[in-house]
Structure 1
């Protein structure tokens, strides 16, 4: 059973906070967020396929990916403003279908006992209305589906040995 996504969108505030636990080490969860091949395998709803056009997970880097369902395509882009290995990502996020609605997203990766991870995040929107529009278009379900796929992906990957051990 997957861990639940906890999402909070306070009334009257143009923000959203979320958290999700993973039964995998921080290094694996962080890698799945910053490795383009892994990212494409889990992001978004299960019925979408993802193509990565640009993915430069470094301070000052950019990204763009396109998700497809049949003939329909949904493109997303942004910039990485700060990355700290296995700890923190600060980036912008824009759905090209809603131009001029750019969010600022913070993600923190925290080690939990037993080799587990707590992912916490905050998204800041330009308005309450833009946040509510994303939520109304299934964002929470898409995030939950993506994180469930991330669980499955991480379970299928070999874990990296700690430095200095084979």
Structure 2
């Protein structure tokens, strides 16, 4: 089994796509350059600070997000596969400021880790980004929470894509 398929989830994967009016190289850079990630990463209304972005297998993206109410949340991605301008595969989780794994601050039954694949395809000068999300090394209860959270995931990723779209339009 290759890295992009490894998971222990019993829930169907969550998939969402958005097509952006921007060439592939610009969209790829928005996902892989720390200065750009800080401009758009996270749910709508949240701001982000990039602490580390080490773009290599085994490297980490460590970030802090602030909610509109000022609540601080940390997250991390540990990269497993990077195919330039094609795919990013990573294990995503909430974290503390020192990069330790933590539970979702508002949903303690949320899976501790998520297997994430971000795919990029270009056609006619536009780029489609597809997110595939699955619980990783999750309990049955965590998989159920994931499956029940699809509306929330849809809303969160839609807001994140809206922020990315605005960033790309203004870049």
Indicate if the aligned counterparts of 2:116 and 2:132 stay in contact, CA closer than 8 A: yes
Residue 124 of structure 1: aligned partner = 134
Aligned runs of 1:1-166 on 2, under 5 Å?
13-69=11-67, 70-95=69-94, 96-98=102-104, 101-113=112-124, 115-125=125-135, 126=138, 127-132=142-147, 134-135=149-150, 138-157=152-171
Secondary structure of the corresponding residue to residue 17 of structure 1: strand
- 5+ residue gaps, structure 2, are 1-9, 95-101
Indicate if the aligned counterparts of 1:65 and 1:76 stay in contact, CA closer than 8 A: yes
- Structure 2 vs 1, CA of residues 87 and 28 (structure 1 numbering), >3 Å: closer, same or farther? same
CA distance in 1, matches of 2:31, 2:64: 16
* Shift of residue 133, structure 1, vs aligned partner: 5.7
TM-score (normalised: structure 1): 0.77
Secondary structure of the corresponding residue to residue 40 of structure 1: helix
CA distance in 1, matches of 2:157, 2:145: 17
TM-score (normalised: structure 2): 0.75
- 5+ residue gaps, structure 1, are 1-11, 158-166
* Shift of residue 57, structure 1, vs aligned partner: 1.6
